[in-house]
Amino acid sequence: MYDFKKIEKKWQGKWTKIFNSKNKGKKYYVLEMFPYPSAYGLHMGHALNYIIGDIYARFKRMNGFNILYPMGYDAFGLPAENAAIKASEHPKKYTEKSMKNFIEQQKALGLSYDWSKKLVTCYPDYYKWNQYFFLKFLENGLVYRKKSAVNWCPKCNTVLANEQVHDGRCEYHKDTDVEIKQLEQWFIKTTKYAEELLKEIPKLQWPERIKLMQENWIGKSYGTEIKFKINGKDWPIFTTRPDTIFGVTFMVVSAQHQKLMELVTKEQKKEVEEFLKRLKSVSEKELEEMEKEGVFTGSYAINPLTNEKVPVYVGNFVIAEYGFGMVMAVPAHDQRDFEFAKKYDIPIKIVIQSKDKELKEAYTGEGLLINSGNFNGTASKIAIEKITDYIESKNLGKRTVNYKLRDWLVSRQRYWGTPIPVVYCEKCGIVPEKKLPVILPDKVKFGEGNPLATSKEFTNAKCPKCKGKARRETDTMDTFFDSSWYFLRYCDNKNNKEAFSKKKTDYWMPVDQYIGGAEHACMHLIYARFFTKALRDLGFLKFNEPFTRLFNQGMLHGVDGNKMSKSLGNVINPIDMIKKYGADALRINLMSLASQDKDSNWSDTSLESNFKLVNKIFNYFEKLKPKKSSEKVESKINKAIKEITVDIEEFKYNLAIIKLRNLFDVIENNEISKKDAETFLKILSLFCPHVTEELWNKMGNKSFISLEKWPVADESKINEKLEQEEKQVEALASDINNITKIIREKGKEPRKAFVYTIPNETKLYVENKEILTRKTNLIVEIFAVNDKNKHDPQGKAGKSKPGKPAIYIE
Among 9-17, 166-174, 600-608, 788-796, the segment contacting Zn ion (CB under 5 A): 166-174
Among 162-170, 244-252, 654-662, 671-679, the segment contacting Zn ion (CB under 5 A): 162-170
83 binds Zn ion (CB under 5 A): no
Least distance between Zn ion and beta carbon 127 (Å): 23
Q: Please tell me the count of residues contacting Zn ion according to CB under 5 A.
A: 13
Comparing CB distances to Zn ion, the nearer of 401 and 466 is 466
The angle at the Cα of 90, spanning 86 to 95, to the nearest 5 degrees, equals: 95
430 binds Zn ion (CB under 5 A): no
736 binds Zn ion (CB under 5 A): no
* One-letter identity of residue 567: S
Between helix 523-537 and helix 208-218 the angle, nearest 10°, is 70
CA 76 vs. chain centroid, Å, equals 20
Among 69-77, 418-426, 634-642, 786-794, the segment contacting Zn ion (CB under 5 A): 418-426
Comparing CB distances to Zn ion, the nearer of 427 and 628 is 427
Among 33-41, 171-179, 285-293, 518-526, the segment contacting Zn ion (CB under 5 A): 171-179
Comparing CB distances to Zn ion, the nearer of 263 and 425 is 425
Task: Collapse the DSSP code of 229 into the 3-class scheme (helix H, G, I; strand E, B; otherwise coil) and give the result.
Answer: strand
Query: Which DSSP symbol is given to 522?
Result: T
Least distance between Zn ion and beta carbon 481 (Å): 20
Tell me phi and psi for residue 382, to 5 degrees: -70, -35
Least distance between Zn ion and beta carbon 463 (Å): 3
From residue 377 to residue 406, what is the string marking binding to Zn ion with x (rule CB under 5 A)?
------------------------------
Least distance between Zn ion and beta carbon 73 (Å): 23
Comparing CB distances to Zn ion, the nearer of 149 and 463 is 463
Least distance between Zn ion and beta carbon 87 (Å): 17
Least distance between Zn ion and beta carbon 173 (Å): 4
Separation between Cα atoms, residue 509 and residue 68, nearest integer Å:
10
Q: Taking a C-beta distance cutoff of 8 angstroms, is the pair 179, 255 a contact?
A: no
**Residues 602-641 contacting Zn ion, CB under 5 A:** none
Least distance between Zn ion and beta carbon 281 (Å): 11
For 118, 121, 355, 612, the CA distances from 487, given in Å and listed in that order, are 11, 12, 57, 39
Comparing CB distances to Zn ion, the nearer of 91 and 554 is 91
Cis ω on the peptide bond leading into residue 510 (within 30° of 0)?
yes
Least distance between Zn ion and beta carbon 523 (Å): 18
Q: Taking a C-beta distance cutoff of 8 angstroms, is the pair 486, 34 a contact?
A: yes
Separation between Cα atoms, residue 478 and residue 487, nearest integer Å:
17
39 binds Zn ion (CB under 5 A): no
Comparing CB distances to Zn ion, the nearer of 423 and 733 is 423
Task: Collapse the DSSP code of 642 into the 3-class scheme (helix H, G, I; strand E, B; otherwise coil) and give the result.
Answer: helix
Comparing CB distances to Zn ion, the nearer of 41 and 432 is 432
From residue 467 to residue 506, what is the string marking binding to Zn ion with x (rule CB under 5 A)?
-x--------------------------------------
115 binds Zn ion (CB under 5 A): no
Comparing CB distances to Zn ion, the nearer of 166 and 229 is 166
423 binds Zn ion (CB under 5 A): no
Comparing CB distances to Zn ion, the nearer of 175 and 208 is 175
Q: Using CB under 5 A, pick the residue from 166, 465, 549, 804 that binds Zn ion.
A: 465
From residue 172 to residue 211, what is the string marking binding to Zn ion with x (rule CB under 5 A)?
xx--------------------------------------
Comparing CB distances to Zn ion, the nearer of 168 and 367 is 168
- 137-141: list long-range contacts, CB under 8 Å, 24+ apart: 137/188, 137/189, 137/534, 138/422, 138/432, 139/432, 140/538, 141/189
Q: Taking a C-beta distance cutoff of 8 angstroms, is the pair 437, 124 a contact?
A: yes
CB atoms within 10 A of CB 119: 21
Q: Count Cα neighbours of 491 within 13 Å in the Cβ-side half-sphere.
A: 24
169 binds Zn ion (CB under 5 A): no
The per-residue DSSP string of 260-273 comes to HHHH--TTTHHHHH
Based on its alpha-carbon atoms, the radius of gyration of the chain, rounded to whole angstroms, reads 34
* One-letter identity of residue 166: H
170 binds Zn ion (CB under 5 A): yes
Strand-strand pairing, 165-166 and 169-170: antiparallel
Least distance between Zn ion and beta carbon 157 (Å): 8
Give the residue from 26, 790, 124 showing the smallest Cα distance to 441.
124
Least distance between Zn ion and beta carbon 176 (Å): 6
287 binds Zn ion (CB under 5 A): no
Burial letters 83-117, b for 16+ CB under 10 A, else e: bbbeeeebbeebbeebbebbbebbbbbbbbbbbeb
Least distance between Zn ion and beta carbon 162 (Å): 14
466 binds Zn ion (CB under 5 A): yes
From residue 434 to residue 463, what is the string marking binding to Zn ion with x (rule CB under 5 A)?
-----------------------------x
Separation between Cα atoms, residue 599 and residue 554, nearest integer Å:
4
Comparing CB distances to Zn ion, the nearer of 64 and 468 is 468
- Residues in CB range of 663: below 8 A, 6 or more apart: 636, 637, 640, 680
CB atoms within 10 A of CB 772: 21
Q: Give the residues across from 205 on adjacent strands.
A: 549
Q: Taking a C-beta distance cutoff of 8 angstroms, is the pair 565, 608 a contact?
A: no
Give the residue from 159, 243, 197, 730 showing the smallest Cα distance to 476.
159
Comparing CB distances to Zn ion, the nearer of 156 and 320 is 156
78 binds Zn ion (CB under 5 A): no
Separation between Cα atoms, residue 681 and residue 677, nearest integer Å:
6
**Residues 132-161 contacting Zn ion, CB under 5 A:** 153, 155-156
Q: How many residues does the chain have?
A: 810
Comparing CB distances to Zn ion, the nearer of 416 and 531 is 416
Least distance between Zn ion and beta carbon 471 (Å): 11
Comparing CB distances to Zn ion, the nearer of 156 and 586 is 156
717 binds Zn ion (CB under 5 A): no
425 binds Zn ion (CB under 5 A): yes
Comparing CB distances to Zn ion, the nearer of 172 and 620 is 172
507 binds Zn ion (CB under 5 A): no
Give the residue from 640, 486, 596, 524 showing the smallest Cα distance to 53.
596
Q: Using CB under 5 A, pick the residue from 428, 518, 699, 758 that binds Zn ion.
A: 428
Comparing CB distances to Zn ion, the nearer of 434 and 623 is 434
Comparing CB distances to Zn ion, the nearer of 421 and 805 is 421
Among 126-134, 422-430, 635-643, 744-752, the segment contacting Zn ion (CB under 5 A): 422-430
CA 618 vs. chain centroid, Å, equals 36
Query: Which parts of this chain interact with Zn ion (CB under 5 A)?
Result: 153, 155-156, 170, 172-173, 425, 427-428, 463, 465-466, 468
